[in-house]
Amino acid sequence: MLTGSVTTEFLPFIYGAYLIVISKKDGGIRPIAVGSTFRRLVSNLCYKQIEEVLLSSFKLKQYECLVKGGGEAAVHAVRTYLNNSFDGEVIVKDDVKNAFNSRSHVRESERENFADLSIPITM
């Protein structure tokens, strides 16, 4: 799986998912995708092998990435700053370079740090 040697016929079983639909109280539906347990196990084992490299490569670009409670910590830090800021200070949030997720930090980091593990998946 990690070397890209999975046969084309077997790919849907590994990378596919069963779709279950659950009715919501308001009459809408909630789709739930259940993926392969085997794929998740392999992914988790691989992640543990490269966790430190991932942490160091993402920490300057993604503040919440791979940090438990990172999103909440960022929100609290901004609130604290705003509550204690002086006149004339502002916070600017700019997402122009990555508008609509047009740029993938994950893929960039993968190419920089894990070129031997970067496997294009096509179905």
Provide the pLDDT for residue 26.
94
Angle at 93 between CA 88 and CA 98, to 5 degrees: 155
> Crossing angle of helices 105-113/37-58, nearest 10°?
80
DSSP state of 56: H
Asked if the structure places residue 35 within a domain, the reply is: yes
Number of domains in the chain: 1
Asked if the structure places residue 121 within a domain, the reply is: no
Q: pLDDT by residue (tens digit) across 48-97?
A: 888 888 777 766 666 666 667 777 887 888 888 888 876 767 666 655 55
Asked if residues 110 and 118 have their Cβ atoms less than 8 Å apart, the reply is yes
The pLDDT confidence band at residue 42, using thresholds 50, 70 and 90, is confident
The pLDDT confidence band at residue 121, using thresholds 50, 70 and 90, is very low
Q: pLDDT by residue (tens digit) across 95-109?
A: 555 555 666 666 676
Asked if the structure places residue 119 within a domain, the reply is: no
Asked if the structure places residue 23 within a domain, the reply is: yes
Asked if the structure places residue 44 within a domain, the reply is: yes
Asked if the structure places residue 89 within a domain, the reply is: yes
Classify residue 68 as exposed, middle or buried by CB count within 10 Å of its CB (0-12, 13-18, 19+): exposed
Mean of per-residue pLDDT scores for the chain: 75
Asked if the structure places residue 95 within a domain, the reply is: yes
The pLDDT confidence band at residue 122, using thresholds 50, 70 and 90, is very low
**Which structural domain range is residue 47 located in?**
11-113
Question: Hunting for tokens 């200070």 — which residue is that?
Answer: 89
Asked if the structure places residue 94 within a domain, the reply is: yes
The pLDDT confidence band at residue 32, using thresholds 50, 70 and 90, is very high
**Whole-angstrom distance, CA of residue 14 vs CA of residue 6:** 9
Provide the pLDDT for residue 95.
56
